[in-house]
Structure 1
Protein backbone atom coordinates (compact mmCIF):
# COMPACT_ATOMS: atom_id res chain seq x y z
CA UNK A 1 0.00 0.00 0.00
CA UNK A 2 1.37 3.37 -1.04
CA UNK A 3 1.73 6.02 1.64
CA UNK A 4 0.20 9.38 0.85
CA UNK A 5 2.21 12.54 1.28
CA UNK A 6 1.23 15.09 3.90
CA UNK A 7 -0.09 17.34 1.10
CA UNK A 8 -2.25 14.52 -0.27
CA UNK A 9 -3.65 13.80 3.20
CA UNK A 10 -4.37 17.50 3.72
CA UNK A 11 -6.17 17.75 0.36
CA UNK A 12 -8.20 14.61 1.10
CA UNK A 13 -9.23 16.00 4.48
CA UNK A 14 -10.23 19.35 2.95
CA UNK A 15 -12.28 17.58 0.24
CA UNK A 16 -14.06 15.52 2.90
CA UNK A 17 -14.79 18.63 4.98
CA UNK A 18 -16.06 20.59 1.97
CA UNK A 19 -18.24 17.68 0.89
CA UNK A 20 -19.69 17.41 4.40
CA UNK A 21 -20.38 21.15 4.46
CA UNK A 22 -21.99 20.95 1.01
CA UNK A 23 -24.22 18.06 2.07
CA UNK A 24 -25.40 20.06 5.09
CA UNK A 25 -26.13 23.13 2.95
CA UNK A 26 -28.11 21.07 0.44
CA UNK A 27 -30.10 19.33 3.18
CA UNK A 28 -30.90 22.29 5.41
CA UNK A 29 -29.28 25.49 4.17
CA UNK A 30 -26.46 27.53 5.63
CA UNK A 31 -27.98 27.69 9.10
CA UNK A 32 -27.24 23.97 9.57
CA UNK A 33 -23.52 24.41 8.97
CA UNK A 34 -21.45 24.52 12.13
CA UNK A 35 -17.79 23.61 12.39
CA UNK A 36 -18.68 20.85 14.86
CA UNK A 37 -21.33 19.34 12.57
CA UNK A 38 -19.08 19.53 9.51
CA UNK A 39 -16.33 17.74 11.42
CA UNK A 40 -18.72 15.09 12.70
CA UNK A 41 -20.26 14.54 9.27
CA UNK A 42 -16.80 14.17 7.69
CA UNK A 43 -15.59 11.82 10.42
CA UNK A 44 -13.25 14.32 12.05
CA UNK A 45 -13.30 16.62 15.04
CA UNK A 46 -14.37 20.25 15.09
CA UNK A 47 -10.71 21.06 15.69
CA UNK A 48 -9.64 19.76 12.31
CA UNK A 49 -12.22 22.00 10.61
CA UNK A 50 -10.93 24.99 12.55
CA UNK A 51 -7.35 23.99 11.73
CA UNK A 52 -8.06 23.83 7.99
CA UNK A 53 -10.39 26.81 7.62
CA UNK A 54 -10.24 28.88 10.81
CA UNK A 55 -13.88 29.97 10.78
CA UNK A 56 -17.29 29.16 9.37
CA UNK A 57 -17.00 32.13 7.01
CA UNK A 58 -13.68 30.88 5.61
CA UNK A 59 -15.16 27.39 5.22
CA UNK A 60 -18.14 28.77 3.30
CA UNK A 61 -15.89 30.89 1.07
CA UNK A 62 -13.75 27.81 0.31
CA UNK A 63 -16.93 25.85 -0.43
CA UNK A 64 -18.13 28.53 -2.87
CA UNK A 65 -14.77 28.60 -4.67
CA UNK A 66 -14.41 24.80 -4.81
CA UNK A 67 -17.96 24.28 -6.02
CA UNK A 68 -17.54 26.68 -8.93
CA UNK A 69 -14.26 25.23 -10.17
CA UNK A 70 -14.70 23.20 -13.32
CA UNK A 71 -18.48 23.45 -13.20
CA UNK A 72 -18.89 23.41 -16.99
CA UNK A 73 -16.47 20.86 -18.45
CA UNK A 74 -14.65 21.61 -21.67
CA UNK A 75 -15.26 25.37 -21.80
CA UNK A 76 -11.62 26.16 -21.06
CA UNK A 77 -10.58 24.26 -24.19
CA UNK A 78 -11.93 27.17 -26.26
CA UNK A 79 -10.20 30.49 -26.75
CA UNK A 80 -12.18 33.51 -25.53
CA UNK A 81 -14.83 34.46 -28.05
CA UNK A 82 -18.31 33.78 -29.30
CA UNK A 83 -17.94 30.00 -29.56
CA UNK A 84 -16.70 29.73 -25.97
CA UNK A 85 -19.74 31.69 -24.79
CA UNK A 86 -22.10 29.53 -26.84
CA UNK A 87 -20.54 26.35 -25.45
CA UNK A 88 -20.91 27.75 -21.92
CA UNK A 89 -24.62 28.53 -22.28
CA UNK A 90 -25.34 25.17 -23.88
CA UNK A 91 -23.36 23.04 -21.41
CA UNK A 92 -24.18 24.88 -18.19
CA UNK A 93 -27.63 23.39 -17.79
CA UNK A 94 -26.35 19.93 -18.68
CA UNK A 95 -23.79 20.34 -15.94
CA UNK A 96 -26.58 21.30 -13.54
CA UNK A 97 -28.37 18.04 -14.30
CA UNK A 98 -25.26 16.08 -13.33
CA UNK A 99 -24.07 18.08 -10.35
CA UNK A 100 -23.18 16.68 -7.01
CA UNK A 101 -23.62 18.19 -3.59
CA UNK A 102 -20.80 20.74 -4.03
CA UNK A 103 -22.44 22.44 -6.99
CA UNK A 104 -25.92 22.12 -5.51
CA UNK A 105 -24.58 23.82 -2.40
CA UNK A 106 -23.24 26.66 -4.55
CA UNK A 107 -26.70 27.31 -5.99
CA UNK A 108 -28.39 27.07 -2.58
CA UNK A 109 -25.85 29.48 -1.08
CA UNK A 110 -26.20 31.81 -4.07
CA UNK A 111 -29.93 32.03 -3.39
CA UNK A 112 -29.34 32.54 0.35
CA UNK A 113 -26.80 35.30 -0.32
CA UNK A 114 -29.67 37.68 -1.07
CA UNK A 115 -30.51 37.88 2.65
CA UNK A 116 -27.19 36.95 4.29
CA UNK A 117 -24.80 39.80 5.07
CA UNK A 118 -21.76 37.48 5.14
CA UNK A 119 -22.59 35.64 1.91
CA UNK A 120 -23.58 38.70 -0.11
CA UNK A 121 -20.03 40.02 -0.64
CA UNK A 122 -18.72 36.54 -1.51
CA UNK A 123 -21.30 36.08 -4.24
CA UNK A 124 -21.02 39.64 -5.53
CA UNK A 125 -17.32 38.90 -6.12
CA UNK A 126 -17.96 35.47 -7.71
CA UNK A 127 -20.73 36.82 -9.93
CA UNK A 128 -18.55 39.77 -10.98
CA UNK A 129 -15.84 37.31 -12.07
CA UNK A 130 -18.38 35.20 -13.96
CA UNK A 131 -19.80 38.27 -15.71
CA UNK A 132 -16.27 39.48 -16.54
CA UNK A 133 -15.45 36.14 -18.21
CA UNK A 134 -18.62 36.31 -20.29
CA UNK A 135 -18.03 39.96 -21.20
CA UNK A 136 -14.48 39.04 -22.28
CA UNK A 137 -15.92 36.39 -24.59
CA UNK A 138 -18.26 38.98 -26.13
CA UNK A 139 -15.38 41.48 -26.51
CA UNK A 140 -13.19 38.83 -28.15
CA UNK A 141 -16.06 37.92 -30.45
CA UNK A 142 -16.51 41.56 -31.43
CA UNK A 143 -12.79 41.91 -32.11
CA UNK A 144 -12.90 38.80 -34.33
CA UNK A 145 -15.95 40.08 -36.20
CA UNK A 146 -18.14 37.23 -34.89
CA UNK A 147 -20.30 39.46 -32.69
CA UNK A 148 -22.15 42.59 -33.76
CA UNK A 149 -20.27 45.76 -32.75
CA UNK A 150 -23.37 47.30 -31.13
CA UNK A 151 -23.69 44.48 -28.56
CA UNK A 152 -22.89 45.64 -25.01
CA UNK A 153 -20.71 42.97 -23.34
CA UNK A 154 -21.72 43.90 -19.78
CA UNK A 155 -25.42 43.71 -20.60
CA UNK A 156 -25.01 40.33 -22.31
CA UNK A 157 -23.01 39.06 -19.33
CA UNK A 158 -25.66 40.13 -16.82
CA UNK A 159 -28.46 38.52 -18.83
CA UNK A 160 -26.54 35.27 -19.41
CA UNK A 161 -25.73 34.88 -15.71
CA UNK A 162 -29.36 35.57 -14.80
CA UNK A 163 -30.60 33.00 -17.32
CA UNK A 164 -28.15 30.29 -16.32
CA UNK A 165 -28.52 30.69 -12.57
CA UNK A 166 -32.29 31.13 -12.76
CA UNK A 167 -32.77 28.00 -14.85
CA UNK A 168 -30.38 26.09 -12.57
CA UNK A 169 -32.41 27.05 -9.50
CA UNK A 170 -35.64 26.07 -11.26
CA UNK A 171 -34.08 22.69 -12.04
CA UNK A 172 -33.08 22.18 -8.40
CA UNK A 173 -36.60 22.99 -7.23
CA UNK A 174 -38.38 20.87 -9.86
CA UNK A 175 -36.03 18.65 -11.91
CA UNK A 176 -38.87 17.23 -14.00
CA UNK A 177 -39.92 20.68 -15.16
CA UNK A 178 -36.87 21.35 -17.35
CA UNK A 179 -35.26 19.31 -20.09
CA UNK A 180 -31.75 20.65 -19.50
CA UNK A 181 -30.37 19.42 -22.84
CA UNK A 182 -33.19 21.05 -24.81
CA UNK A 183 -32.95 24.26 -22.76
CA UNK A 184 -29.19 24.37 -23.35
CA UNK A 185 -29.65 23.99 -27.10
CA UNK A 186 -32.32 26.69 -27.09
CA UNK A 187 -30.09 29.10 -25.18
CA UNK A 188 -27.24 28.46 -27.58
CA UNK A 189 -29.48 29.10 -30.61
CA UNK A 190 -30.87 32.25 -28.98
CA UNK A 191 -27.45 33.76 -28.24
CA UNK A 192 -26.06 32.70 -31.60
CA UNK A 193 -28.85 34.66 -33.28
CA UNK A 194 -28.61 37.67 -30.95
CA UNK A 195 -24.84 38.03 -31.24
CA UNK A 196 -24.51 37.38 -34.99
Structure 2
Protein backbone atom coordinates (compact mmCIF):
# COMPACT_ATOMS: atom_id res chain seq x y z
CA UNK A 1 0.00 0.00 0.00
CA UNK A 2 1.55 3.33 -1.00
CA UNK A 3 2.35 5.77 1.77
CA UNK A 4 1.03 9.31 1.64
CA UNK A 5 3.58 11.88 0.54
CA UNK A 6 4.57 14.34 3.20
CA UNK A 7 3.74 17.98 2.67
CA UNK A 8 6.45 20.59 2.44
CA UNK A 9 5.51 21.80 5.93
CA UNK A 10 5.77 18.27 7.35
CA UNK A 11 9.22 17.87 5.77
CA UNK A 12 10.31 21.25 7.13
CA UNK A 13 9.00 20.44 10.63
CA UNK A 14 10.71 17.04 10.58
CA UNK A 15 14.01 18.59 9.49
CA UNK A 16 13.79 21.28 12.17
CA UNK A 17 13.03 18.70 14.87
CA UNK A 18 16.00 16.59 13.75
CA UNK A 19 18.30 19.62 13.74
CA UNK A 20 17.18 20.74 17.20
CA UNK A 21 17.66 17.21 18.56
CA UNK A 22 21.14 17.09 17.05
CA UNK A 23 21.97 20.50 18.54
CA UNK A 24 20.75 19.41 21.98
CA UNK A 25 22.80 16.21 21.83
CA UNK A 26 25.93 18.12 20.83
CA UNK A 27 25.49 20.65 23.64
CA UNK A 28 25.13 17.81 26.17
CA UNK A 29 28.08 15.85 24.80
CA UNK A 30 30.53 18.64 23.95
CA UNK A 31 29.25 21.95 25.33
CA UNK A 32 27.88 25.03 23.63
CA UNK A 33 31.30 26.33 22.53
CA UNK A 34 31.75 23.34 20.24
CA UNK A 35 28.32 23.77 18.64
CA UNK A 36 28.61 24.67 14.96
CA UNK A 37 26.09 24.63 12.14
CA UNK A 38 28.22 22.09 10.27
CA UNK A 39 28.28 19.68 13.24
CA UNK A 40 24.54 20.03 13.77
CA UNK A 41 23.86 19.29 10.10
CA UNK A 42 26.21 16.32 10.08
CA UNK A 43 24.71 14.86 13.28
CA UNK A 44 21.17 15.22 11.89
CA UNK A 45 22.09 13.85 8.48
CA UNK A 46 21.66 17.15 6.65
CA UNK A 47 24.01 19.68 5.09
CA UNK A 48 25.15 22.84 6.84
CA UNK A 49 23.11 24.72 4.23
CA UNK A 50 19.89 23.20 5.59
CA UNK A 51 20.81 24.35 9.10
CA UNK A 52 21.51 27.85 7.79
CA UNK A 53 18.24 27.80 5.82
CA UNK A 54 16.23 26.91 8.95
CA UNK A 55 17.98 29.09 11.52
CA UNK A 56 20.22 31.59 9.75
CA UNK A 57 23.07 31.28 12.22
CA UNK A 58 24.24 29.80 15.49
CA UNK A 59 22.63 32.52 17.64
CA UNK A 60 19.18 31.88 16.15
CA UNK A 61 19.68 28.11 16.48
CA UNK A 62 20.57 28.43 20.17
CA UNK A 63 17.61 30.76 20.76
CA UNK A 64 15.21 28.32 19.08
CA UNK A 65 16.73 25.45 21.07
CA UNK A 66 16.26 27.38 24.33
CA UNK A 67 12.60 28.02 23.52
CA UNK A 68 11.94 24.46 22.35
CA UNK A 69 13.57 22.87 25.39
CA UNK A 70 11.70 24.95 27.94
CA UNK A 71 8.27 24.78 26.35
CA UNK A 72 5.92 22.39 28.10
CA UNK A 73 8.49 21.13 30.62
CA UNK A 74 5.70 20.56 33.16
CA UNK A 75 2.65 19.10 31.41
CA UNK A 76 -0.92 19.59 32.59
CA UNK A 77 -0.72 23.20 33.78
CA UNK A 78 -2.45 24.93 30.88
CA UNK A 79 -5.95 24.11 32.10
CA UNK A 80 -5.35 25.27 35.68
CA UNK A 81 -6.30 28.81 36.71
CA UNK A 82 -3.49 30.93 38.20
CA UNK A 83 -3.09 30.58 41.95
CA UNK A 84 -1.47 28.60 44.73
CA UNK A 85 -2.57 25.22 43.39
CA UNK A 86 -1.01 25.83 39.97
CA UNK A 87 2.18 27.16 41.58
CA UNK A 88 2.54 24.07 43.78
CA UNK A 89 1.73 21.76 40.87
CA UNK A 90 4.41 23.49 38.80
CA UNK A 91 7.03 23.03 41.56
CA UNK A 92 6.05 19.40 42.08
CA UNK A 93 5.92 18.70 38.34
CA UNK A 94 9.25 20.42 37.65
CA UNK A 95 11.02 18.33 40.26
CA UNK A 96 9.27 15.20 39.02
CA UNK A 97 10.43 15.85 35.47
CA UNK A 98 14.02 16.16 36.71
CA UNK A 99 13.84 12.49 37.68
CA UNK A 100 13.57 11.59 34.00
CA UNK A 101 15.39 14.51 32.46
CA UNK A 102 15.91 14.14 28.71
CA UNK A 103 18.50 15.51 26.34
CA UNK A 104 16.51 18.68 25.55
CA UNK A 105 16.22 19.64 29.19
CA UNK A 106 19.86 18.79 29.86
CA UNK A 107 20.80 21.05 26.96
CA UNK A 108 18.62 23.87 28.30
CA UNK A 109 20.27 23.70 31.73
CA UNK A 110 23.78 23.63 30.26
CA UNK A 111 22.98 26.58 28.01
CA UNK A 112 21.41 28.42 30.95
CA UNK A 113 24.55 27.92 33.05
CA UNK A 114 26.77 28.98 30.12
CA UNK A 115 24.73 32.17 29.73
CA UNK A 116 26.42 33.59 32.84
CA UNK A 117 29.75 33.74 30.96
CA UNK A 118 28.64 33.91 27.32
CA UNK A 119 27.37 37.40 26.37
CA UNK A 120 25.61 36.10 23.24
CA UNK A 121 23.54 33.66 25.33
CA UNK A 122 22.70 35.98 28.22
CA UNK A 123 19.81 37.91 26.55
CA UNK A 124 18.07 34.68 25.51
CA UNK A 125 18.12 33.21 28.99
CA UNK A 126 17.34 36.49 30.76
CA UNK A 127 14.19 36.60 28.63
CA UNK A 128 13.32 32.94 29.36
CA UNK A 129 13.81 33.44 33.12
CA UNK A 130 11.83 36.68 33.04
CA UNK A 131 8.92 34.82 31.41
CA UNK A 132 9.20 32.03 34.01
CA UNK A 133 9.19 34.54 36.87
CA UNK A 134 6.23 36.38 35.33
CA UNK A 135 4.20 33.16 35.29
CA UNK A 136 5.08 32.45 38.91
CA UNK A 137 4.30 36.05 39.92
CA UNK A 138 0.88 35.68 38.29
CA UNK A 139 0.22 32.57 40.40
CA UNK A 140 1.27 34.30 43.62
CA UNK A 141 -0.78 37.43 42.86
CA UNK A 142 -3.83 35.30 42.06
CA UNK A 143 -3.34 33.39 45.31
CA UNK A 144 -3.15 36.64 47.25
CA UNK A 145 -6.32 37.86 45.51
CA UNK A 146 -8.28 34.68 46.33
CA UNK A 147 -6.98 34.50 49.90
CA UNK A 148 -5.00 31.24 49.58
CA UNK A 149 -1.66 33.08 49.86
CA UNK A 150 -0.71 35.48 52.65
CA UNK A 151 -1.20 39.08 51.55
CA UNK A 152 2.17 40.06 53.04
CA UNK A 153 4.08 37.94 50.54
CA UNK A 154 6.07 39.75 47.83
CA UNK A 155 5.16 38.03 44.55
CA UNK A 156 8.36 39.09 42.78
CA UNK A 157 10.60 37.79 45.56
CA UNK A 158 8.77 34.46 45.65
CA UNK A 159 9.08 34.10 41.88
CA UNK A 160 12.84 34.77 41.99
CA UNK A 161 13.33 32.34 44.89
CA UNK A 162 11.35 29.56 43.21
CA UNK A 163 13.21 29.92 39.90
CA UNK A 164 16.53 29.93 41.74
CA UNK A 165 15.64 26.88 43.77
CA UNK A 166 14.33 24.86 40.84
CA UNK A 167 17.22 25.75 38.54
CA UNK A 168 19.72 25.04 41.32
CA UNK A 169 18.26 21.62 42.04
CA UNK A 170 18.21 20.90 38.31
CA UNK A 171 21.90 21.74 37.95
CA UNK A 172 22.75 19.57 40.96
CA UNK A 173 20.77 16.72 39.39
CA UNK A 174 22.67 17.19 36.14
CA UNK A 175 26.05 17.31 37.86
CA UNK A 176 25.50 14.39 40.24
CA UNK A 177 22.30 12.45 39.59
CA UNK A 178 22.88 9.99 42.43
CA UNK A 179 23.02 12.72 45.08
CA UNK A 180 19.69 14.31 44.15
CA UNK A 181 16.58 12.38 45.18
CA UNK A 182 13.98 14.23 43.13
CA UNK A 183 11.06 12.21 44.53
CA UNK A 184 11.94 13.16 48.12
CA UNK A 185 12.49 16.74 47.04
CA UNK A 186 9.07 16.86 45.39
CA UNK A 187 7.44 16.29 48.75
CA UNK A 188 9.68 18.49 50.89
CA UNK A 189 10.00 21.47 48.54
CA UNK A 190 6.29 21.55 47.73
CA UNK A 191 5.46 21.26 51.45
CA UNK A 192 7.89 24.09 52.22
CA UNK A 193 6.26 26.46 49.73
CA UNK A 194 2.74 25.54 50.87
CA UNK A 195 3.71 26.45 54.44
CA UNK A 196 5.69 29.56 53.47
CA UNK A 197 2.91 31.02 51.34
CA UNK A 198 -0.25 29.80 53.03
CA UNK A 199 -2.39 31.81 55.38
Gaps of 5+ in 1: none
| Residues 14-163 of structure 1: pairs in structure 2 closer than 5 A | 14-163=16-165
So what's the TM-score if we normalise by structure 2?
Answer: 0.97
Measured after TM superposition, the shift of residue 4 of structure 1 is: 1.3
Matched residue SS, 1:75 = coil
Tell me how far 1:34 sits from its aligned partner. Answer: 0.2
- Matched with 1:192 is 194
Runs of 4+ in 1 over 2 A off after TM superposition: none
What RMSD in Å do the two structures reach over aligned CA positions? 0.7
Count how many residue pairs are aligned between Structure 1 and Structure 2: 196
Q: Unmatched 5+ residue regions in structure 2? A: none
- Partner Cα distance (1:96, 1:8) in 2: 31
TM-score (norm 1): 0.98
Q: Give the whole-Å Cα distance in 2 for the aligned partners of 1:104 and 1:75.
A: 21
Indicate the SS of the match to 1:115.
coil
User: Per-residue deviation at 1:99?
Assistant: 2.2
Equivalent position of 2:169 in the other structure: 167
